[in-house]
A and B are shown apart, each in its own frame.
Chain A
C-alpha cells in the first residue's frame, strides 16, 4: 500500500502540475493593461505613438498567439481578445474585442490567416518552403 500511495501520489502530482502549467500558461490577454495604460477614446483607446510602436509595447507586455501586420494596421490575437492597433491622427487607436467579434470586425485583414471556411486558416502558415516532411 505504501508503494502504491507513493507511486500513485507522484504520478498524480506530476499530472496535476502538467495540467496546471498547460491550462494557465501561454498568452495572456492584455485587455486590462491596455485599459490602464491608454486613455479611452471613441470605443477604443488612444496612443500617442504610431501603430508599430504601440503594437510593439503591447507585444512586449503580453505575447500574442498570432499577429498580422497589414497596411491598414496591426492585429494581435490572444486567447480571450483580438487587439487592433490602427493609425490615427497623432498616433494610434487601439480596439479590444472578444476573439469572435474581433475576427468578424477585422475579417477583411485577418481572414485566411486566423481562420477561414470551417475554421481552417490557409494563408501564410508554416515554417517555409516544403516545411519539412
Chain B
C-alpha cells in the first residue's frame, strides 16, 4: 500500500516526502521530551559542580580562606557584648576553618580577644568551638564543642542540634549562618541552663540604624525562578505543538 497521494510521484512523490517530514517531526518531539526530562537533572548537577569549584584549578582559597569576615566578627562581638553586660558572662568563639589561615577567636570583648585568658574581666565565660574539615574549597564536616568556666560543664553541644540551631549532617548553603547561629544562641543556652537571665529583644519600628533603602531580600532563589520559568516554557511549548498540529491537520483536510 502506497502512501503517495493520487497523482503524486510513485515511491518518492509528495506523499513520501510528507511521511518523511512527519517521521522527522516525531523524532523532534521525542528529542524535546528527552531534553525536557534531562534539563532539570543535568542543569542542577552542572551548577553544583561549578559551584563546588570542580572546573576551577585555582586552589588559593585553601591557604587564605577564613570562616567569618571582618563585618561578621564585628557583628557577633557587638551582639554578644550586649548579652554579656546583661548576664555577667563573657561569650566567645574559636573557629578552626580547616585551612592554613590562623584560628579565628573573638568574644564580647572584641575580635581577637579570648575571654578564657582574661579572668579579671571574665570570671565567667562560655566559648563555642567549631572545628571544620576543609577539602577542595569547601567544608566537608564540622565538630562543635562548648567550653565554659563553670565547675560542671553545663552546656552540651548536642543541645545545638537538639534545638535545630545546627544540622551537623548538612554542610550546605547555611554553613556560615549556622556558625553565626551557634555563637548567637550561647546566651539563650546559658539562660536555659539557669546560668543567665535572658531578656527579650526590643522591637523598634523603624529602627534608627536602618538606611532608607534597607529592604528585605527576595525569598525566592535562582532555583525557584528557574523552575517557574521551566514550567511556563514547557506549557508554552506543549500548547504550541498542539496548535501547530491542529493547523497542519486543518490545512491537510482543506487541501489534501
Contact = CB atoms under 8 A, between A and B. Distances in A.
A8 B238 contact: yes
Interface stretch (B25-33, B116-124, B146-154): B25-33
Contacts, number: 282
Interface residues of B, number: 101
B217 A72 contact: no
A19 B191 contact: no
Interface in B14-28: 22, 25-26
Nearest to B58: A133
A39 interface: no
Nearest to B48: A132
B41 interface: no
Interface in B89-106: 91, 97-99, 101
Contacts of A131: 51, 137-138
Contacts of A126: 173, 175-176
B203 A65 contact: no
Contact of B50 (A12, A99, A133): A133
A26 B83 CA distance: 34
Contacts of A88: 200
Main secondary structure of the interface of A (DSSP, over half): mixed
Contact of B234 (A14, A99, A107, A118): A14
A53 interface: yes
A72 B200 contact: yes
A128 B219 contact: no
A50 B192 contact: yes
A109 B165 CA distance: 16
Interface string B218-256: 110000100110111111111111111110110000000
Given A16-B235, A87-B198, A104-B205, 10 more contacts: A3-B245, A7-B33, A12-B235, A13-B238, A15-B238, A55-B163, A60-B164, A86-B201, A127-B171, A129-B97
22 contacts: A4-B245, A5-B245, A8-B238, A9-B238, A11-B32, A15-B237, A50-B192, A50-B198, A69-B184, A101-B205, A103-B215, A105-B204, A107-B206, A109-B79, A126-B175, A127-B171, A127-B175, A128-B134, A128-B139, A131-B137, A132-B52, A133-B137
